Amino acid sequence: MKELIQKIESRRAIVGIIGLGYVGLPLMVRFAEERFNVLGFDIDSQKVDLLNDGKSYIRSVPRDQIRDLVRRGIFAATSDYTRLAEVDCILICVPTPLTEKMEPDLVYIENTAHQVTENMKRGQLIVLESTTYPGTTEEILLPKFQARGWREGEDFFLAYSPERQDPGNREYTTKSIPKVVAGITQNCRKVAKLLYQQVIDEVVVVSSTRAAEMTKLLENIYRSVNIALVNELKILADRMGIDIWEVIEAASTKPFGYFPFDPGPGMGGHCIPIDPFYLSWKAKEFDFTTRFIELSGEINISMPYYVVSKAIDALNAKKKSIRGARIVILGVAYKRDIDDIRESPAMAIMKLLQDKGAKIAYNDPHVPKLHPTRKYTFTMSSKSLTEALLRKADLVMIITDHSQYDYRWIVDNASLVVDTRNATRGIRSARGKIIKA
């Protein structure tokens, strides 16, 4: 332990990051910025090759930054997990998706744990950062490492520190977002805290890995429930002839007891649509039903259907059938000004529209191509956003309110607009031309 602490404090510790996606890659950059040598691991050989060539596949991580780190020899990527023995600290940032039955799919964590067990050396710190249910660190990782006959807190150090990335957020970065940390033992907690203190402005220590795992779930459940609430009120307000956006703006003037959440076409990203169900699944082990989680999930999952119904009504009012209608989707990323389409409601909306016979095209300045995923089989490319494209469309749907879009120009050139993000607020048009959904 003393040797590892000295290596961390002197920046001689080599940090290994498993999973070089939206969490792992920014974390790698942060450690490299503080003069740590970093070795990245990923099963995707294409990502590894791109990184070693000094290229980035994530918009928020500039290519020049990767190229500079590779050129200086501070960072390298590999798919060879035997090289885990070369590093002093292992940070696990792999995906934690859901199965088709909405149950936790821990295959990435389990496979990674196997690789670490096969290649770890004495004295290493291993930290799980993937979002998961309370007990994962103790129940899945710890027994595998103990099976080698090694003692936690002495022969190896195991901790949990949930990722808190917010892609596209320029105000809060990896460095400035407080880091929650917990260890299996006091020594584990001490080493993990020390490591993150070298690269993060504030480290928040909690008593157990279960508490740390629960912390991340609470954060995401809080957002999921409140987004579901405002989405449900949006549907009610629409039936009552009330502008929910006006209501939210007025309510936001209250200086206490209220925090605004915006409604939308559904939820996206790898966290909020997925993580709450990890706790919902685990709760059943304790004969407990998480009713708020289940209800908010139902509401948020249903929002693409509501949006499509509004599109059908808007077309009907113009004496146009959904079948054969030419529809242009603006924005397929799950939120503004990013290139991430994971769990994006745009995918569900496009699939529903296609199933009803609509002819779909999309534009997104950050997503040039769509590739098949586990749920969807789109193989489309972004169309150039031109006056001709808008004028030819029977309907233009604003799904993601990217800041690059000129909404005044879009409204002027489209015959009918369905706006799911209130992006056209303040823009006047002919009666019935803009439909809020």
Catalytic residues: 271
What separation in angstroms does the CA of 12 have from each of 3, 7, 188, 193, 350? 11, 5, 19, 17, 50
> Can you list the alpha helix ranges (DSSP code H) found in 93-208?
107-119, 136, 142-146, 186-197
User: How far, in Å, CA of 223 to CA of 39, rounded?
Assistant: 34
User: How far, in Å, CA of 127 to CA of 93, rounded?
Assistant: 9
Name, in order, each residue with C-beta under 8 angstroms of 196's C-beta and a sequence gap of 6 or more: 161, 179, 181, 203
Place of tokens 């001490």: 190
User: How far, in Å, CA of 385 to CA of 20, rounded?
Assistant: 32
Within 10 Å of residue 369's Cβ, how many Cβ atoms? 10
3-state secondary structure (DSSP) of residue 147: coil
Residue 15 near residue 39 (C-beta atoms within 8 A): yes
What separation in angstroms does the CA of 88 have from each of 9, 77, 182? 13, 16, 18
Nearest CA to 347 among 374, 324, 326? Answer: 374
Nearest CA to 324 among 393, 378, 387? Answer: 393
User: How far, in Å, CA of 27 to CA of 20, rounded?
Assistant: 9
Name, in order, each residue with C-beta under 8 angstroms of 253's C-beta and a sequence gap of 6 or more: none
CA angle 422, 348, 340 (to 5 degrees): 75
Cα–chain center distance at 17: 18
Cα–chain center distance at 26: 13
Residue 304 near residue 265 (C-beta atoms within 8 A): yes
CA angle 269, 423, 262 (to 5 degrees): 50
Place of tokens 């040039």: 368
User: How far, in Å, CA of 228 to CA of 292, rounded?
Assistant: 10
3-state secondary structure (DSSP) of residue 279: helix
